[in-house]
Structure 1
């Protein structure tokens, strides 16, 4: 996929016929689309910020779980929603960044069909081995891979996921060959790691956290520029001599295309206020999530940076989801 400039077209350049619609009225509820089932982390985040934002916006914020196609169904609904401030979507990085890299055809174009509103949370990935493994660092893992090329592999919760491509990033930077083994979710991956079916696994940190704390698994590195707040004693890849192995997952908040800038700013302000609440920060941290924030332009920059980060890795892998 070609690199994209993820910038919202200026309203002033649009013909009058396509001018942004009126701002949301306080008596109209906001539908917050979530493309994943109730009960998951993104659903919990959506409900938490909705409860806070409805007070600041002085209007109801109603969650609508539009599950299907890994979040792409909700994205298509957002694309076709009226730009009147009554529809929003919270979605993970996979929808605006990874899906365009791995699917040949999509029912949306994030560069033109989404209006960025704000960055909600970040989350780290972790490289984990079995708890009684002698491997305690990334360098030791790389040395083991080179000494055992016939066993050199890693597991991820799904083919085409960010943990999959993060493993390929590690292989590239460490100059080793690793076979990727895809599992059907985080739980089967953990079972494989704990059962010595695969030497290491890469997943969202929180998936390994309980077993790490119990000594059944050992997270030997995390993926952020700084240490994960839930794992302050575990060094990052960068701290261990791999400065180019950096990357996080995140959730972003979006509005339909051509939403008025004043409405975007109004919702962004409410989002940032919600994210600054101590109880929200604490709750998200309990889920392994770190609050984001900032402007709509900040979210656009994050999208562009991550498209440029993951694009070469995905293309080099030759992976396609369809």
Structure 2
């Protein structure tokens, strides 16, 4: 009986000690072994890529290209999860609150991580504190396009028409804070035109209205607009970047078409929630870089009018900080605010 009581007391003391260590954040040896085995097997279940815009837009297109490559590389299904709304803020907030275990990736943009913090008075996430940057995936120009029935065919004609009809030229965007929105605001402020911004829950619904001539123009990401230009359903007016696009070599830049100094580039990257274990980050980063270096994947991105971009995690963090300063100034100077 004494031996039984001693054994029971010993078990109780061990349980109390384990509970105390857990409360202090100290893992017992079995817990360490369990976590090591779990991480060592990573990934052992499907991974999701949260896309903060609707299906069919550039962010979604790039996420699906990456999901195919990562599925083959990591040996687990990579599922694209579209969570559109509020200029990407809804999807970003959901990704920020996801478990930090490597099973949730976030396909973010210049909007979600460099523009929205300046544009919105309050964000449901912190783009710096709530995420760990992995790498950029691609950079793309924005393309100023119009419906063919609109009465202007060039930048100068658009400016003249907009000034003669203030507030009547509507431009659509994937949402407030997305790079097409800020590209439009930059154009408006630099040309002194009174354009009307119409935000949508993603590029696809905005494009639907442009194709139906419900809005006049868009500064859309090239990958989601180029198919409609090639089919003749949209009229290309100008490219937002400093140089012309190899995909549309006859289309001038906005700067050379009448607005000197104008330049805007969209970029897209992958993040994980803050506190994701470093070894998991390292494995994901290596897989992403390997996929981006695959010539087949690179061609898919360039065929869409984009360019592959690969950074170290440190360089990506520095790049984001610089872009935040740049676009914060543009937002402030334009007077845009949500």
- Whether these two folds match at TM > 0.5 is yes
Matches within 5 A, 1:20-31: 23=39, 25-26=41-42, 28-29=44-45, 31=47
Unaligned runs of 5+ in 2: 1-23, 27-34, 201-205
Following superposition, the deviation at residue 257 of structure 1 comes to 0.9
Q: Deviations over 1:89-142 (max 9, x none)?
A: 223333223332333322210111100001112222112245477755434543
**Cα displacement (A) at 1:243:** 4.9
Q: In the superposition, relative to structure 1, how do residues 301 and 166 fare at CA in structure 2: closer, same or farther (>3 Å)? A: same
Equivalent of 1:86 in 103, 107, 114: 103
Closer/same/farther in 2, CA of residues 25 and 87 from structure 1, 3 Å limit: farther
Paired position in structure 2 for 1:4: none
Q: Among 183, 191, 211, which residue is 2:212 paired with?
A: 191
**SS across alignment from 2:212:** helix
Contact 1:125/1:163, CA 8 A, preserved across alignment: yes
Would you say 1:105 and 2:126 are equivalent positions? no
Distance in 2 (CA, whole Å) between partners of 1:79 and 1:179 is 34
Q: Rg larger in 1 or in 2? A: 2
Asked whether 1:153 is paired with 2:169, we answer yes
Q: 1:38 to 1:24 in 2, by over 3 A?
A: farther
Pair 1:269-2:286 in alignment: yes
Aligned length: 298
Say which SS state the counterpart of residue 111 (structure 1) adopts: coil
CA distance in structure 2 between the partners assigned to 1:56 and 1:297 by the alignment? 23
Partner Cα separation in structure 2 for residue 189 and residue 181 of structure 1: 13
Alpha-carbon shift at residue 181 of structure 1 (Å): 4.1
Map Cα deviations across residues 227-273 of structure 1 (whole Å, 9 max, x no partner). Answer: 22321221222344645322222221111213344543332222122
User: 1:24-55, CA deviations, whole angstroms, 9 ceiling, x for partnerless residues?
Assistant: 53352352332345565434433332332344
1:67 is aligned to 83
Q: Is the 8 A contact 2:239 2:253 kept in 1?
A: yes
Counterpart selection for 2:320 from 303, 306, 322: 303
Cα separation, 1, equivalents of 2:73 and 2:175: 40
Counterpart-to-counterpart distance in 2, 1:217 and 1:167: 18
Partner of 2:253: 236
Q: TM-score, normalised by structure 1?
A: 0.76
Aligned-residue Cα RMSD (Å) equals 3.4
Alignment of structure 1 residues 29-178 onto 2, 5 Å: 29=45, 31-35=47-51, 36=53, 41-57=58-74, 59-63=75-79, 65=81, 67-70=83-86, 71-131=88-148, 135-145=152-162, 148=164, 150=166, 153-157=169-173, 160=176, 161-174=178-191, 176-178=192-194
Q: In the superposition, relative to structure 1, how do residues 290 and 98 fare at CA in structure 2: closer, same or farther (>3 Å)?
A: same
Separation in 2, partners of 1:126, 1:233: 13
**Alpha-carbon distance in 1 for matches of 2:43, 2:188:** 54
Q: CA, structure 1 residues 201+45, in 2 after alignment: closer, same or farther (shift >3 Å)?
A: closer
Deviation at residue 143 of structure 1 after TM alignment: 4.8
Aligned equivalents of 2:287, 2:165: Cα separation in 1: 52
Residue 278 in structure 1 maps to residue 295 in structure 2: yes
